[in-house]
Chain A
Amino acid sequence: MAAPGTAYALRGDSGYEGGISSGENPNVTVTSTTSKISYQYQEPFFLKGAPIVLTGTMTIKKALKTDSKTGVQTLTTTYDYNVPNANNNSLVRNIVMTTTITPRANGQKTETTKLTSASETLKLNGTSYFISKSNPNDYMISKAITNDYQPAVSYFAGTLIGKKTYHVGTSNSADIIVVDSTCNTVGYDEYWSTAETQTIKQTITSRKAGQSSIVLGNANIDISTTTTKQLKYYENQPEQISFEGGYYKTQYNENVLKYTANLKELDKSGAPTSKTVTYTKSLKLESFPFNDPLVAPNLKKIKGHPAEESMAIMFGLEAYKDIDSFNPQEYMSRGEFIDAFTKIAPEVPLDPVFKPKTTKTTSSSRKKTPVVLLFKDVPEKNKYFLSINDAANRGMVSTGGNFRPDAKITLAEAVTIIINSLGLKGLAPNPSPVTSFKDNDKIPGYARAPMYVAEKIGLIQEDSKGYIYPTAKITKANASRIMKAYIDYMNSGIREEYMERIISYK
């Protein structure tokens, strides 16, 4: 069962037909291997000379099979679209797609998707369009995706090509409209937000029986399906309460579609004229927000501190604990930092359909799994053993040798761990970047690329004189500022990159 409030990487929430859905509602219960969820759905159609947007529902059903030997997974996804008749428009569509997911030696997974079956009955302004199951050539799709897994973010990108042949009037009519589409898709999944963008290009061609075909126009559709978790503060009204206020995580989906269609204007008989009219419009569907409270300890002790907000969030997320013994000006140890950072940068949540089946634990399988010591100086009894091992297993820190959990962490070290978790080191120029900081030369070699990237994405900022002090130790207050900036980046910055910046800048 899915824990409520968890943003899953629900890829394909908007389907691949050029429409958007309201996406997952966190309150809906889904089972671990199959899920069936109904979403609000909108899709623009460009077959009638001017765009027509249909609004209805889409139901997604997923089932997964895993080959235990090869690790190859087969995901069967069934999409059911339904737009009840209104204004002489309606849609009934059923699509079954089979995706083969193959793990690769470098840790990536590649996906290929084929159409298993498709049928569609569409009515636009009273004209009916049909795609029948019996003719598999009427709808073809080929989709290829590469998944790249980083410690705190999974990225994916790929392409899709498709061809739909609608029969106009009757299901076997020789009057057809062909919609050719290509689509680039790119996105990411992580704890604080997810995004899937599709950049679709459609060409619409009509052919009447016995006549030559005529191109009716084209449409560019940009789709961004996102989820986000924002942190919001609430203040308690009465003064006489044990805690002043606190934070809650509010999670919702924001799905946007923008199209620009250049369509031949139709004359009064429905035949295309030579005039091309450009239509631009955006659609937006949002889910109902889901709120999840954070812990709210009494933080009188840090009230008024310049980093109070950042630290309060760290306490709310239980990245910082024990306010009584907390000193914001204390330098942070490497162990403490990893412990806090793994709390705010948890593993990428999996789509429930990909979660391993949980079988009832029998007495024989309850045996304690052997403890793996990844660092000589981090024994099992170390306070941060689990966090450090988690960070190492996910690749945020490299293993082998010593971890030095009690040593005080430097800015360069912290930034390197953070950028590692995003897998974005590669954004820095080759062979090794020269940063804008005045003390660039003081940055240790391993941290040069991470520091460069962290500055570009807004995690760190030079002081008023242009220095960054890469090898300086960092206090708990300053660490909380950097981690707060990380959360802001993870729930807004990166999402913006996959939404406004794809949709509104062309």
Chain B
Amino acid sequence: MNLFKLKNKKGEKLISKAAATILSMTLIAQTFAVGAVNEKVINSFNAVSTGQAIINNLKYTDIAGLDNNSKNSIFQNGALGIYITPGSKKFNPKGYISKEMALYLIYTAANRVREIDEQGQALNSERTVKKTNPQDVLFDGSLQLAANDGLISETELADAMQTNQKTLGASDFKRSAPVQRQEFATWIAKALMIPPEPQQQELLNNFSDWKSCKPENVPYLEAVLRAKIMNGNGSGKFLPAGLVTRQQAAAILKNAEDVILPLRSLEQRNATVQGIQSGKDNSNGSTTAYTTITIRNSDGLLDEITVSKSNRKPVSNTNELTGSVSASYNSELPVFKNGKITSSTDLKTGDRIQYIAGTEDQIVRYVRVLAKNEVTPEEVEKGLYAGIVEENNPQLGYITLYNEDGTGKTPLALSKLKTYNYADPNDIKVYKSHEEAQLDDIEAGDTVFIRVDSNNLVTSVSSVANYTVRYGKIISKKLSSIIVEFDKKQQKAYNIDRANVIKDGKLVKYSQIKDGDTVKLLINEAPNLTVLKEIMVEGGDKLVSNVYKGTFDNYNSISNTIYLNDPWTFRNGKWIKETNGSKVIELGNGFTAYFDGQKKSLKDLTLLKDNTVYIASEKDYGNDELAAVASFTDSTEKEVPYDDMVYITGTNRFVLEKNLVNVTYNPGTIVVKDGRLVQGSSVSTDDYVYVMANRDNSGSNSTIVAGVVSIEQRPGTEAVQLYRGRISSIDEYKTVTLESYSKLNGTNWDYANTPMTFSLSSNTRITDTDGIVGQGNFTAENTQDTFKGRTVYILSDGTDAVEISTAPFGNFNIQGTVNSTAGGTLAEDGSVVQEPQSILLKNCRYYNTSAHLWVTMGDSNFNILKNSLILRNNKKINPSDLKKGDSLRILKKDNAVTGDAYIIIVE
């Protein structure tokens, strides 16, 4: 076959050239063919003998513009002989169907042509003036049968049979008048014996005009709607008194095929064309050409359809007398492919087809080639619907979905949506994200799959949420809502309701959220409501790193950096000189600059050279920092520092309690609260604040404008719980008991002559002069290194021992400010290689216990021992955590300016 085709197409030369290849290809093809032939053919079908005539009749000239579904309805009904327009090339799709035509169509569909013919003939034979048009006779028969069956009343029949139809009134049954939609629906239900549905559900829920239906029709309309034979007009109306076009009638009959086909001993089958073979049969003297179409049916078995053509052409000069006509038998398949009616010659291997064949005669009447991605309803389970939830109302027992194509949002078109009723809300299987759930868990915006039973009631629901992730920064946290700012500076408020809050991978309370937190929000952004589901707080990688003050030199647009002269660092309400060098800071993504409270573009910064600028930087990965905001001031302004508590807050201002000054802020004010950059409105009553303000004398009243506001947890607000005593016993890993103890109380050790027991936990750290001691070695047993009888410090949290140290007793209190540390080394990445060994303090004084006075002493340099305890907020920190400017209290054995520091408390 291959050889033959090639020869015809390209000529012999090509064949000789590619002979080898083609030969092998042919061999493969043959082997394959043999394989297929060997398989048993289960069903043998034949094409319909009138096939070609049907095709010719269906070549309508006026339906080219219709969609493929409409064309298919027209062709299928035509091919089945239900809906034909003999002798006309026009289908007239927009024409209305008359009542008599409607009845005739419905009865034809119900396979009762013989009966209507009999009835029609009987009526005609009684007539004196016989009707000559066979169609009229059939219409008469249809009307009579309809009356017999109760589709129409006897009165209506009488009206219909009246010879002069013009005398009929408007309310009479005029046979040629267009049929109404509710009549058509009722007749179909009755003629096809679809049982009426007394309970209205489809009609009530989906169509706003159900009241205008005739009450006696309603159960039938419901039945037709449930069987999906008819539907509304697409905008929530059934239009009971509306008319039916010929195109609509074809679609309705097509929709009823599940009922109609069995009545006509037909069935619809699906298959894929496996191969097409041609053959010839000369046995009868004449030649008959066969085309056998091998198809793979939906059970995976092999069927075939045979199309046969007698080779002998009809000879016009033969008649019964001149010679016996050879029984020329031509069959053909009406094939609907790519929007056109055609024949079997257009079928190709691989085509997926849907065809209608007789269950008894095995004759194929109609073939439709499926579109590339089309799935036939037979290949899909019925009763399962998918969509996005518009509303779920378990209390009232229904769920409403947007349309499967995502439409249904047009205002006032809600009736377009699909509503399903719950069978029994307590007995519905519900899954959310593949786990068993309650009906209440199904939310608007979810994707759902709904399974309905034969009564169209929901029996199970499976859903997944379609939450949206958004990233932003908390601008303001209220009692039950948050305002979040997103990337492009848009702000949005969300109710907290039942939203989970997650911080450091743990579920925490809403109160843990702070103004200025960067957050990841999980939001159910359903089309008509928004619900915040979860707030995840960023882990702290982007907290405020430093606030600097300096003299602005320049902004470099290529390196995106600011060069700052004479930089100072803000710490504990003071400006600290950390470096003699200048500072270069890279700008972060959201960097903004302000001058006198007004936003300034980067380009304009050159004009502010030598102005004083405050810059807040945020941490970046790898010990880096990026400038987040810069606030330029007028160089003439004088800076005033405050260390105070907020007494009251107002619009763009707050009042300080001790100083009783009114401090105003503007968008350029750098406000740091709990390590986060926040807006001025986040300053609240009773906040401890450090303020760097500038007096603005420009107006009539001098106002104080805050440049930097810092609200932070003050060290020392939590009491240090430090005990000292002699160990009397140790229950390893469990408890340690002191035979008596002293507790640090301010500058004094309060002695109590009673034993005290502390619990040990895996987190208790024990340090002696050489370093850390494992709890296994923290023993009172009679060993060389026993702790029994040794005097230790115990830092506790309640009665839990947190740190135990063997450092010597110090009863001299010395205060001072960290100037520097010494002996420590840092690696290239900023990590600590060696902890500092000593600490240099300035502004020192010691407490004279007898005089109850603090006495000034010289700058001091103290050693830090391995078992020295350095405490901040009642927690041990490392020597490298001490920063220049930190205010310390030190316990020592004397008041010398050198020596060992046993206990160092950051105040």
A contact residues vs B (CB 8 Å cutoff)? 42, 51, 53, 55, 87, 232, 234-235, 256-258, 265-268, 271-276, 281-285, 429-438, 440-441, 443, 445, 448, 456, 458, 500-501, 503-506
Q: How far is the CB of A484 from chain B (nearest CB, A)?
A: 13
| Max chain B C-beta neighbours (<10 A), residue from A257, A458, A506 | A506
Task: Give chain B residues whose Cβ lies under 8 Å from the Cβ of A448.
Answer: 405-406
Q: How far is the CB of A293 from chain B (nearest CB, A)?
A: 12
Cβ B773 vs Cβ A458 within 8 A: no
Cβ A433 vs Cβ B388 within 8 A: yes
Q: How far is the CB of A432 from chain B (nearest CB, A)?
A: 3
Cβ B829 vs Cβ A441 within 8 A: no
Please report which residues of chain B, range 761-806, place their CB below 8 angstroms from some CB of chain A when the two chains form the complex.
762-765, 768, 770-777
Task: Give chain A residues whose Cβ lies under 8 Å from the Cβ of B409.
Answer: 434-435, 437-438, 440-441
Cβ A42 vs Cβ B829 within 8 A: yes
Cβ B413 vs Cβ A441 within 8 A: yes
Cα of A329 to Cα of B880 in the assembled complex, Å = 62
Cα of A438 to Cα of B527 in the assembled complex, Å = 9
Question: Would you list 7 pairs from A and B whose C-beta atoms are within 8 A, ordered by A residue?
Answer: A268-B771, A271-B774, A275-B775, A282-B622, A429-B447, A434-B406, A445-B406
Cβ A430 vs Cβ B774 within 8 A: no
Partner of B763, one of A276, A284, A285, A456: A276
Cα of A468 to Cα of B447 in the assembled complex, Å = 24
Measured CB to CB, the nearest residue on chain A to B504 is A506
Q: Which 10 A-B pairs have the closest CB atoms?
A: A284-B622, A432-B406, A268-B771, A440-B409, A429-B466, A282-B621, A274-B762, A273-B774, A267-B774, A284-B621
Contact mask for chain B residues 390-404; partner A; CB cutoff 8 A; 1 contact, 0 none: 000000000000101
Q: How far is the CB of A206 from chain B (nearest CB, A)?
A: 14
Say whether B558 faces chain A, with CB atoms less than 8 Å apart: yes
Partner of A274, one of B541, B733, B827, B833: B733
Q: How far is the CB of A486 from chain B (nearest CB, A)?
A: 15
Cα of A87 to Cα of B445 in the assembled complex, Å = 59
Say whether B196 faces chain A, with CB atoms less than 8 Å apart: no
Q: How far is the CB of B861 from chain A (nearest CB, A)?
A: 25
Say whether B408 faces chain A, with CB atoms less than 8 Å apart: yes
B contact residues vs A (CB 8 Å cutoff)? 386-388, 402, 404-411, 413, 445, 447, 464, 466, 468, 471, 487-488, 504-505, 520, 525, 527, 536, 538-539, 541-542, 557-558, 603, 620-624, 733, 762-765, 768, 770-777, 825, 827-829, 831, 833
Q: Known A267-B772, A273-B772, A435-B527; judge A256-B405 contact (CB<8 A).
A: no
Measured CB to CB, the nearest residue on chain B to A55 is B828
Cα of A281 to Cα of B541 in the assembled complex, Å = 9
Measured CB to CB, the nearest residue on chain B to A258 is B621
| Max chain B C-beta neighbours (<10 A), residue from A276, A434, A440, A456 | A434
Q: How far is the CB of A249 from chain B (nearest CB, A)?
A: 13
Task: Give chain A residues whose Cβ lies under 8 Å from the Cβ of B471.
Answer: 501
Cα of A47 to Cα of B829 in the assembled complex, Å = 19
Cβ A234 vs Cβ B557 within 8 A: yes
In addition to A258-B541, A275-B763, A431-B404, 18 A-B residue pairs with Cβ atoms within 8 Å of each other are A55-B829, A257-B621, A267-B772, A267-B777, A273-B772, A275-B764, A275-B765, A276-B763, A282-B541, A282-B623, A284-B623, A431-B388, A432-B388, A432-B404, A434-B402, A434-B407, A501-B520, A505-B538
Cβ B771 vs Cβ A267 within 8 A: yes
Task: Give chain A residues whose Cβ lies under 8 Å from the Cβ of B520.
Answer: 501, 505
Partner of A284, one of B386, B464, B624, B774: B624
Q: How far is the CB of B866 from chain A (nearest CB, A)?
A: 9
Task: Give chain B residues whose Cβ lies under 8 Å from the Cβ of A506.
Answer: 504-505, 539
Q: Known A282-B621, A506-B504; judge A234-B487 contact (CB<8 A).
A: no
Cβ A434 vs Cβ B386 within 8 A: no
Task: Give chain A residues whose Cβ lies under 8 Å from the Cβ of B468.
Answer: 456
Provide the main secondary structure of the chain A interface.
mixed
Q: Known A276-B762, A433-B406; judge A440-B527 contact (CB<8 A).
A: yes
Q: Known A258-B541, A258-B621, A505-B539; judge A441-B408 contact (CB<8 A).
A: yes
Cα of A437 to Cα of B525 in the assembled complex, Å = 12
Cβ B387 vs Cβ A431 within 8 A: yes
| Max chain A C-beta neighbours (<10 A), residue from B505, B763, B774, B825 | B774
Cβ A430 vs Cβ B386 within 8 A: yes
Cα of A258 to Cα of B505 in the assembled complex, Å = 15
Q: How far is the CB of B447 from chain A (nearest CB, A)?
A: 5
Task: Give chain B residues whose Cβ lies under 8 Å from the Cβ of A445.
Answer: 405-406
Cβ B829 vs Cβ A436 within 8 A: no
Q: Known A275-B763, A282-B622, A440-B409; judge A265-B772 contact (CB<8 A).
A: yes
Q: How far is the CB of A28 from chain B (nearest CB, A)?
A: 22
Q: Known A501-B471, A504-B541; judge A268-B772 contact (CB<8 A).
A: yes
| Max chain A C-beta neighbours (<10 A), residue from B386, B407, B408, B777 | B407
Q: Known A429-B447, A431-B386, A448-B405; judge A503-B541 contact (CB<8 A).
A: yes
Cβ A434 vs Cβ B527 within 8 A: yes
Cα of A500 to Cα of B557 in the assembled complex, Å = 24
Cβ A283 vs Cβ B525 within 8 A: no
Task: Give chain A residues whose Cβ lies under 8 Å from the Cβ of B623.
Answer: 282, 284
Measured CB to CB, the nearest residue on chain B to A291 is B558
Partner of B621, one of A256, A438, A458, A501: A256
Task: Give chain B residues whose Cβ lies under 8 Å from the Cβ of A443.
Answer: 406
Partner of B558, one of A87, A234, A432: A234
Q: How far is the CB of B295 from chain A (nearest CB, A)?
A: 26
Task: Give chain B residues whose Cβ lies under 8 Å from the Cβ of A271.
Answer: 774
Q: How far is the CB of A449 from chain B (nearest CB, A)?
A: 8
Cα of A273 to Cα of B733 in the assembled complex, Å = 11
Task: Give chain B residues whose Cβ lies under 8 Å from the Cβ of A42.
Answer: 829
Cβ B772 vs Cβ A432 within 8 A: no
Q: Known A267-B772, A274-B775, A441-B413; judge A53-B827 contact (CB<8 A).
A: yes
Partner of A281, one of B388, B536, B557, B831: B831
Q: How far is the CB of A392 from chain B (nearest CB, A)?
A: 17
Task: Give chain A residues whose Cβ lies under 8 Å from the Cβ of B408.
Answer: 434, 441
Q: How far is the CB of B655 from chain A (nearest CB, A)?
A: 37
Cα of A501 to Cα of B620 in the assembled complex, Å = 14
Partner of A266, one of B624, B762, B772, B827: B772
Q: How far is the CB of B127 from chain A (nearest CB, A)?
A: 56
Task: Give chain B residues whose Cβ lies under 8 Å from the Cβ of A433.
Answer: 388, 406, 466
Partner of B775, one of A266, A273, A441: A273
Cβ A458 vs Cβ B487 within 8 A: yes
Task: Give chain B residues whose Cβ lies under 8 Å from the Cβ of A234.
Answer: 557-558
Cβ A285 vs Cβ B622 within 8 A: yes
Cβ B402 vs Cβ A268 within 8 A: no
Q: Known A265-B772, A431-B404, A501-B471; judge A436-B527 contact (CB<8 A).
A: yes
Q: How far is the CB of B402 from chain A (nearest CB, A)?
A: 5
Task: Give chain A residues whose Cβ lies under 8 Å from the Cβ of B833.
Answer: 87
Cβ A441 vs Cβ B410 within 8 A: yes
Cα of A437 to Cα of B827 in the assembled complex, Å = 55
Q: Known A275-B765, A441-B413; judge A504-B775 contact (CB<8 A).
A: no
Task: Give chain B residues whose Cβ lies under 8 Å from the Cβ of A235.
Answer: 603
Task: Give chain B residues whose Cβ lies under 8 Å from the Cβ of A273.
Answer: 765, 772-776
Q: How far is the CB of A39 from chain B (nearest CB, A)?
A: 15
Measured CB to CB, the nearest residue on chain A to B488 is A458
Cβ B829 vs Cβ A53 within 8 A: yes
Q: How far is the CB of A87 from chain B (nearest CB, A)?
A: 5
Q: How far is the CB of A221 from chain B (nearest CB, A)?
A: 13
Task: Give chain B residues whose Cβ lies under 8 Å from the Cβ of A276.
Answer: 762-763
Cα of A432 to Cα of B401 in the assembled complex, Å = 11
Cα of A433 to Cα of B446 in the assembled complex, Å = 10
Cα of A441 to Cα of B408 in the assembled complex, Å = 6
Cα of A232 to Cα of B557 in the assembled complex, Å = 9
Cα of A437 to Cα of B541 in the assembled complex, Å = 36
Q: How far is the CB of A444 from chain B (nearest CB, A)?
A: 10
Q: How far is the CB of B605 from chain A (nearest CB, A)?
A: 14
Task: Give chain A residues whose Cβ lies under 8 Å from the Cβ of B525.
Answer: 436
Cβ B624 vs Cβ A440 within 8 A: no
Task: Give chain B residues whose Cβ lies under 8 Å from the Cβ of A266.
Answer: 772
